[in-house]
Amino acid sequence: MVRKAFLGLISIAALLVIVGYLGQFHRGADTVAIGRPVFGIICILGIFVARSLTLRFAFGTIALLAISTVAVSFLPQKSGGDIRVYSKNLWFGNKEFSAVVADIEAANVDVVMLQEVSVHNNPALQQLKAEFPHQYVCRFSRWSGIALASRLPFDGDPICSDSRAVLAAPILLKGQRVWVASAHIPWPWPHDSSENEKDAISLLSELDGPVIVAGDFNIVPWSGRVGRIAALTGTQLAGPARATLHLRNIPLPIDMVLAPGGGSLEMRPLLGSDHAGLVADLVLWPK
């Protein structure tokens, strides 16, 4: 009886692993994918609990699939030397934004991508103006602005998505045009975010040349959402992924940076936000 109960639990975990790969069909699958590491570990137990060789093989295969696709996100990468960026969800109520500005300046980056730029923390952009004179903000509400600040000049007009999702701006780097995109896409499901993701895809599909996407994706790196954006922009995850948000003490790596050749990633302090910041040294022109 106990064995049957365990097998039932393990079978459900295996099913949830499979469901987590179906994000292209329904946003709920991306939400299920958050639990893939736990479901994969549960499937490992099936190797020891199941009596049937076929079931053992099935559970082992699903466990390997689940754990390998998660583990690859946490592999360290070599530092890229083409561009250095800073990304952070400020949190709309942040009163320590001056500390964030100091951290940005100390990080010696080329481009800054910020999310949840509100009427309260907006002065951070003014404080950055001397070091990062080229700035743009997409204002979606009093609390949900998406911003970009750059040492490098813009090479054209920045673009805002129709709903809260992405701000993209072309910059001139080493004589070439590069798109940098600050992203803040709402949670997949049950949050009603289908239009936001569609608007993100629509904007990003228009960009030509090398693209960097950084920000708060509100989903884990192994999700369908991140995979679709990476495929669309010809980018890959800079690593290792970091748990930038703790939701009810659950560590979630939902802030990330994508670039054509990936790159190295380091985490910065919270500094008044519920999200840690990220600094990434990226590869734009893979050899």
Q: Which among 15, 13, 2, 17 is positioned nearest to 49, based on CA atoms?
A: 2
Q: Which among 187, 242, 238, 194 is positioned nearest to 214, based on CA atoms?
A: 238
**What gap in Å lies between CA 233 and CA 208, rounded to an integer?**
9
Q: Return per-residue pLDDT of the chain as tens, 287 residues.
A: 667 788 899 999 999 999 999 987 888 899 999 999 999 999 999 999 888 999 999 999 999 999 999 999 999 999 999 999 999 999 999 999 999 999 999 999 999 999 999 999 999 999 999 999 999 999 999 899 999 999 999 999 999 999 999 999 999 999 999 999 999 999 888 777 789 999 999 999 999 999 999 999 999 999 999 999 999 999 999 999 999 999 989 999 999 999 999 999 999 999 999 999 999 999 999 98
> How many angstroms separate the Cα of 238 from the Cα of each of 76, 87, 241?
8, 12, 7
pLDDT at residue 39, rounded to an integer:
97
DSSP the chain: -HHHHHHHHHHHHHHHHHHTT-TTT-HHHHHHHTTHHHHHHHHHHHHHH--SHHHHHHHHHHHHHHHHHHHGGG---PPPSSEEEEEEE--TT-S-HHHHHHHHHHHT-SEEEEEEE-TTTTHHHHHHTTT--EEEEE-SSSS-EEEEEESSPBSS--EE-SSTTEEEEEEEETTEEEEEEEEEPPPSTTTT-HHHHHHHHHHHTT--S-EEEEEE-SS-TTSHHHHHHHHHHT-EE-BS----EEETTEEE--EEEEETT-EEEEE---TTSSS--EEEEE-SS--
pLDDT at residue 2, rounded to an integer:
66
89-113: pLDDT as tens digits: 999 999 999 999 999 999 999 999 9
Q: Which among 275, 238, 228 is positioned nearest to 22, based on CA atoms?
A: 228
**What gap in Å lies between CA 188 and CA 30, rounded to an integer?**
7
pLDDT at residue 282, rounded to an integer:
98
